[in-house]
Chain A
Amino acid sequence: MTAAVLEIRGLRTWFFTRAGIVRAVDGVDLEIAPGEVLGLVGESGSGKSITGFSVLGLIDPPGRITEGSIRFRGEELVGAPEARLRQLRGAHVAMIFQDPMMTLNPVLRIDTQMIEAVLAHRDMRRAEARALCADALRRVGIPAPEERLKAYPHQLSGGMRQRVAIAIALLHDPALIIADEPTTALDVTIQAQILYEVQKLCAETGTSLLWITHDLAVVAGIADRIAVMYAGQIVEQGPAAEVIGRPLHPYTLALLESVPSHNRRGQPLRQIPGMAPSPLALPAGCRFRPRCSRAGERCHEPPPVSMPEAGREVRCFHPCNRPPPEKTEAAPEPDRRISRPSSRPSPGAG
């Protein structure tokens, strides 16, 4: 097996606020192989975006990485000097943000914002950089790129702006792109297009992709592997088809059951009871315990990560491939039926 592009070990990114310490990311382990697409799935506030920003060293105070290691192609990024991180950002690790309306500076033209991205890493004349930018725009399917370069962000549609952001991310053929919910703010039809483009372009260039999303349907369509994040921790990780087809962690199962699908038409959608815990007051032991129908006495201890099957990791005492514990705290008998969507949800059905 080739060495991982990105290897995150025991990452903790905490925010030291007046109200207390927010453990946004609390012991995350991830690995991304070259050319691999890893889907990082979780609810809002689960720490998935903070994980992405941690890789780039873009955590704003009062947050900081307190522990752990992030290795990019073997190079340690935690504690690396800012100058080195700046060299890597954009050139080797690029990022695409959630809201295309907000990622481009409203008072600067597209060409200004693209050319500066080129010149930040390459020594070349402006005219050459400009030609490079036009090519990049063409690559992401933007017609008449020369004209678009002269436009201001507000003159472009949301989908167009996200394409520009993707073009910027692809400018230097990075080894890794971190995409932080890049399709959430877009129309469903545009979502599908953008998904397709990014997938295609990454496959062409062999770029690894960390796709952060709350939308399992989106990630099912493009990810090779999936990591499910809950309250700052990875609770389950494995090949995409297996995680979706046969989830091991009760949280993953609950997430899948809350996605509308064809084979349960007419039935009410299942909801996950309760609310995601406040990161200021995380429950002791398993963090999903208060909302979990399978929780038992042991779950007051923090569950270790186990590897019940090859290539699959789960952080649970009572994974779904085993019978639930005898003494359940929750009154209703948990539904043992494992959801198997007959067809994989199409991308864009979110």
Chain B
Amino acid sequence: MLAYLIRRLFQAAITIVVMAVLVFVGIYAIGNPIDVLISPEADPAEIEAAIRRLGLDQPLWRQFLLFVSNALRGDLGTSFVHNEPALRLIIERMPATLELAVAAMLLSIFLGIPLGMIAGLRHDRATGRGIMAASILGFSLPNFWQGMMLIMLFAVWAGWLPSGGRGDTVPLFGVPVSFLTLDGLQHLILPAINLALFKTALVVRLARAGTREVMLQDYVKFARAKGVSERRVVLVHMLKNILIPVVTVLGLEFGSVIAFAVVTETVFAWPGMGKLLIDSILNLDRPVVVAYLMLIVFVFILINLVVDIVYSLLDPRVRLSGRAE
């Protein structure tokens, strides 16, 4: 286990270095921030000074080395636009995104797995077919359109829920969260559903496929032959086997929900990281974009590690070993 962790850390370090190079070069290529930041009427001396201040007069490799050496000290640069440390800007908005992502994941797990299992167990009946048809809708309706429809139905017509924003927040361990206040919870519901719909559809399909495979296994029949109750057969024997693929996919999806909740955050004016990313890209605010992407790489690596560990807990045949296969 320890050897495994060390090997994983080493792999993670390489991933981060490669990602840093790619991100840096990619961002450098997409345009000149001076055009956006400084008014075209400014005189050449002012422009010159700004370029020097932002470090843009240096060659790319010098900028990169500076970036790396700063990054190692925990400094991912200062936003051109906000004139604040980029990392702090992102971290400030992270709780909102995380809260939304966690809410969406929980929804998709607690809706998707039961629905998927029902669809698998009753695959030849109307219930199963209905669930599958609904999951196709969840898959194929564009996210932004779903969001707008949700706003129209529940906020505009019915007037039950607010259409955007985060609502009241209370600090939990010093981090502001919405879900502990009624107002915040009401604000959370629609964006969480919007973000969860696609994931739920995915989980439903995975759980259904898993159920249909597992239900034919001898060990399920053997469990029945032992006289074990149907409830236990489904909730213990089948569920635990189904969770293995579901956990893998959900782990990866959790990363992408955190990283790319952009559309939902935009539609529901949710003050999260995604919105910051879009604004920063539009403003060519390089340090923020780079810091954001580096943070996301880190999050993905972390999630993958957690998935591997959960996987080994679920499936006793998987043992985390230090040796590469």
Contacts and interface: CB of A to CB of B under 8 A. Distances in A.
Contacts of A113: 223
B121 to A, nearest CB: 11
Interface in B296-325: 314-317
Interface of B: 124, 216-230, 232, 236-237, 240-241, 244, 314-317
A87 interface: yes
A97 B229 contact: no
Contact of A94 (B219, B225, B237, B316): B225
Given A107-B316, A108-B236, A152-B316, A120 B221 contact: no
B225 A104 contact: no
A91 interface: yes
A96 to B, nearest CB: 9
Give the size range of A's interface with the partner: 35 or more
A121 B222 contact: no
Which 6 pairs across A and B sit closest by C-beta, in order of nearness? A90-B227, A102-B218, A89-B227, A152-B316, A90-B226, A117-B226
Contact of B219 (A58, A88, A98, A106): A106
B240 A97 contact: no
A116 B218 contact: no
Contacts of B316: 106-107, 109, 152, 154
A120 B229 contact: yes
Contact of A89 (B226, B240, B241): B226
A116 B224 contact: no
Interface in A79-127: 82, 86-91, 94-95, 97-99, 102-109, 112-113, 116-117, 120-121
Nearest to A171: B226
A102 B224 CA distance: 14
A248 interface: no
Contacts of B236: 108, 112, 116
Interface of A: 53, 56, 58, 60-61, 82, 86-91, 94-95, 97-99, 102-109, 112-113, 116-117, 120-121, 152, 154, 165, 168
A163 B316 CA distance: 21
A117 B124 contact: no
B226 A116 contact: yes
B43 to A, nearest CB: 71
Nearest to A118: B226
B221 A106 contact: no
Nearest to A85: B227
A216 B221 CA distance: 26
Contact of B227 (A88, A152, A154): A88
A124 B217 CA distance: 29
B240 A86 contact: no
30 contacts: A56-B225, A58-B225, A60-B216, A82-B230, A87-B227, A88-B227, A89-B224, A89-B225, A90-B225, A90-B226, A91-B227, A95-B222, A97-B222, A97-B225, A102-B219, A103-B218, A104-B219, A105-B220, A105-B223, A107-B314, A107-B315, A109-B316, A116-B223, A116-B236, A117-B226, A117-B227, A120-B226, A152-B316, A165-B222, A168-B226
